[in-house]
Protein backbone atom coordinates (compact mmCIF):
# COMPACT_ATOMS: atom_id res chain seq x y z
CA UNK A 1 0.00 0.00 0.00
CA UNK A 2 1.16 3.53 -0.80
CA UNK A 3 -0.02 6.57 1.17
CA UNK A 4 0.23 10.13 -0.11
CA UNK A 5 -0.61 13.15 2.03
CA UNK A 6 -0.88 16.39 0.09
CA UNK A 7 -0.61 19.43 2.37
CA UNK A 8 -1.21 23.05 1.59
CA UNK A 9 1.11 25.35 3.52
CA UNK A 10 -0.20 27.09 6.62
CA UNK A 11 -1.58 30.65 6.59
CA UNK A 12 1.11 33.03 5.38
CA UNK A 13 1.76 36.72 5.59
CA UNK A 14 2.14 39.18 2.71
CA UNK A 15 4.80 41.62 3.93
CA UNK A 16 5.47 44.53 1.60
CA UNK A 17 8.59 44.12 -0.50
CA UNK A 18 9.02 40.39 0.24
CA UNK A 19 9.26 38.04 -2.74
CA UNK A 20 6.52 35.41 -2.97
CA UNK A 21 8.99 32.57 -2.36
CA UNK A 22 10.14 34.23 0.90
CA UNK A 23 6.70 34.92 2.44
CA UNK A 24 6.65 33.83 6.11
CA UNK A 25 3.89 32.19 8.10
CA UNK A 26 1.43 34.26 10.12
CA UNK A 27 0.96 33.53 13.82
CA UNK A 28 -2.24 31.66 12.94
CA UNK A 29 -0.31 29.56 10.42
CA UNK A 30 2.31 28.64 13.00
CA UNK A 31 -0.43 27.73 15.49
CA UNK A 32 -2.30 25.63 12.89
CA UNK A 33 0.86 23.78 11.86
CA UNK A 34 1.61 22.88 15.50
CA UNK A 35 -1.98 21.77 16.00
CA UNK A 36 -1.91 19.52 12.92
CA UNK A 37 1.40 18.07 14.04
CA UNK A 38 -0.13 17.26 17.43
CA UNK A 39 -3.07 15.52 15.75
CA UNK A 40 -0.79 13.44 13.52
CA UNK A 41 1.50 12.56 16.43
CA UNK A 42 -1.50 11.50 18.54
CA UNK A 43 -2.43 9.07 15.74
CA UNK A 44 1.18 7.81 15.55
CA UNK A 45 1.39 8.99 11.96
CA UNK A 46 5.00 8.85 10.79
CA UNK A 47 5.85 9.44 7.12
CA UNK A 48 8.75 7.70 5.43
CA UNK A 49 9.44 10.83 3.40
CA UNK A 50 8.58 14.52 3.71
CA UNK A 51 8.94 16.65 0.59
CA UNK A 52 8.44 20.39 0.50
CA UNK A 53 8.41 23.31 -1.83
CA UNK A 54 11.40 25.63 -1.31
CA UNK A 55 9.03 28.52 -0.48
CA UNK A 56 9.47 29.72 3.11
CA UNK A 57 5.79 29.25 4.02
CA UNK A 58 5.72 25.61 2.81
CA UNK A 59 9.13 24.74 4.25
CA UNK A 60 8.20 26.27 7.63
CA UNK A 61 4.93 24.32 7.71
CA UNK A 62 6.77 21.08 6.88
CA UNK A 63 9.46 21.79 9.50
CA UNK A 64 6.91 22.39 12.28
CA UNK A 65 4.87 19.29 11.46
CA UNK A 66 7.94 17.10 10.95
CA UNK A 67 9.20 18.02 14.42
CA UNK A 68 5.82 17.12 15.92
CA UNK A 69 5.79 13.65 14.34
CA UNK A 70 9.45 12.93 15.09
CA UNK A 71 10.76 13.32 11.54
CA UNK A 72 14.17 14.96 11.21
CA UNK A 73 14.27 18.30 9.40
CA UNK A 74 17.62 17.18 7.96
CA UNK A 75 15.84 14.32 6.17
CA UNK A 76 13.22 16.57 4.53
CA UNK A 77 13.61 16.84 0.77
CA UNK A 78 13.19 20.21 -0.92
CA UNK A 79 11.76 19.88 -4.42
CA UNK A 80 11.73 22.99 -6.63
CA UNK A 81 9.10 21.60 -9.01
CA UNK A 82 6.49 21.69 -6.23
CA UNK A 83 6.78 25.49 -6.21
CA UNK A 84 7.42 26.18 -9.87
CA UNK A 85 5.40 23.50 -11.69
CA UNK A 86 1.76 22.44 -11.64
CA UNK A 87 -0.16 19.36 -10.56
CA UNK A 88 0.90 17.25 -13.55
CA UNK A 89 4.59 17.68 -12.74
CA UNK A 90 4.00 17.02 -9.06
CA UNK A 91 2.12 13.80 -9.83
CA UNK A 92 4.98 12.74 -12.12
CA UNK A 93 7.31 13.39 -9.18
CA UNK A 94 5.12 11.14 -6.98
CA UNK A 95 5.23 8.33 -9.53
CA UNK A 96 9.05 8.48 -9.46
CA UNK A 97 9.34 8.05 -5.66
CA UNK A 98 11.42 4.98 -4.77
CA UNK A 99 9.18 2.01 -4.05
CA UNK A 100 10.73 1.25 -0.64
CA UNK A 101 9.00 4.45 0.56
CA UNK A 102 5.40 3.77 1.59
CA UNK A 103 4.13 7.01 3.13
CA UNK A 104 4.91 10.45 1.69
CA UNK A 105 3.86 13.94 2.77
CA UNK A 106 4.19 16.76 0.25
CA UNK A 107 3.89 20.40 1.34
CA UNK A 108 2.99 22.79 -1.44
CA UNK A 109 0.66 25.45 -2.77
CA UNK A 110 -2.63 26.05 -4.49
CA UNK A 111 -3.80 25.60 -7.13
CA UNK A 112 -1.34 22.70 -7.48
CA UNK A 113 -2.42 20.88 -4.31
CA UNK A 114 -6.15 21.30 -5.05
CA UNK A 115 -5.73 20.20 -8.64
CA UNK A 116 -3.69 17.14 -7.68
CA UNK A 117 -6.28 16.02 -5.11
CA UNK A 118 -9.11 16.66 -7.56
CA UNK A 119 -7.31 14.66 -10.26
CA UNK A 120 -6.38 11.70 -8.05
CA UNK A 121 -9.89 11.41 -6.62
CA UNK A 122 -11.57 11.99 -9.99
CA UNK A 123 -13.56 14.91 -8.67
CA UNK A 124 -15.46 16.77 -11.34
CA UNK A 125 -16.88 19.35 -8.96
CA UNK A 126 -15.24 22.30 -7.26
CA UNK A 127 -12.98 21.42 -4.36
CA UNK A 128 -11.05 23.69 -2.04
CA UNK A 129 -7.90 23.08 0.00
CA UNK A 130 -7.69 26.02 2.41
CA UNK A 131 -4.41 26.86 4.09
CA UNK A 132 -3.10 24.04 6.32
CA UNK A 133 -5.51 21.50 4.82
CA UNK A 134 -4.24 17.94 4.36
CA UNK A 135 -5.67 15.22 2.14
CA UNK A 136 -4.50 11.66 2.76
CA UNK A 137 -4.95 9.31 -0.18
CA UNK A 138 -4.13 5.62 -0.33
CA UNK A 139 -3.73 3.01 -3.00
CA UNK A 140 -3.29 -0.76 -2.76
CA UNK A 141 -0.38 -0.74 -5.17
CA UNK A 142 3.23 -1.71 -4.55
CA UNK A 143 4.85 0.79 -6.88
CA UNK A 144 4.47 4.56 -6.97
CA UNK A 145 4.42 4.40 -10.76
CA UNK A 146 0.99 2.74 -10.39
CA UNK A 147 -0.41 5.43 -8.05
CA UNK A 148 -3.10 7.06 -10.18
CA UNK A 149 -6.82 7.96 -10.18
CA UNK A 150 -7.93 4.43 -11.09
CA UNK A 151 -6.80 3.02 -7.75
CA UNK A 152 -6.66 5.92 -5.28
CA UNK A 153 -9.14 6.72 -2.52
CA UNK A 154 -9.43 9.38 0.17
CA UNK A 155 -8.44 8.09 3.61
CA UNK A 156 -8.90 11.35 5.52
CA UNK A 157 -9.09 15.12 5.15
CA UNK A 158 -7.99 17.59 7.83
CA UNK A 159 -8.97 21.25 7.74
CA UNK A 160 -7.71 23.03 10.87
CA UNK A 161 -10.21 25.87 10.95
CA UNK A 162 -13.00 23.28 11.22
CA UNK A 163 -11.40 21.44 14.15
CA UNK A 164 -9.24 24.13 15.75
CA UNK A 165 -9.18 24.31 19.51
CA UNK A 166 -10.49 27.66 20.68
CA UNK A 167 -8.89 29.51 23.51
DSSP string, 10-41: PPB---TT--GGGPPBPHHHHHHHHHHHHHHH
Residues 111-155 pLDDT 10s: 999 999 999 999 877 788 999 999 999 999 999 999 999 999 999
Residue 4: is the preceding peptide bond cis (ω within 30°)?
A: no
50: how many CB neighbours lie within 10 A of its CB?
A: 23
- pLDDT of res. 166: 54
Report pLDDT for 160: 85
Mean local confidence (pLDDT), 48-73: 97
pLDDT at residue number 161: 78
* Average per-residue pLDDT for the chain: 94
Q: Is the pTM of this model over 0.85?
A: yes
Q: Which domains does the chain have, with CATH numbers?
A: 2-132+154-162 (3.40.50.1240)
Confidence of residue 167 (pLDDT cuts 50, 70, 90): very low
pLDDT digits (tens, 9 = 90+) for 7-19: 999 999 999 999 9
State how beta strands 77-78 and 49-52 pair: parallel
Amino acid sequence: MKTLVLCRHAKSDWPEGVQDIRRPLKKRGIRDAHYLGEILASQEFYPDLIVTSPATRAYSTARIISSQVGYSEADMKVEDSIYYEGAGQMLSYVQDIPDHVNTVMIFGHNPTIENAVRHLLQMGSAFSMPTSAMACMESYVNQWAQFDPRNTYLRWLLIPRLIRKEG
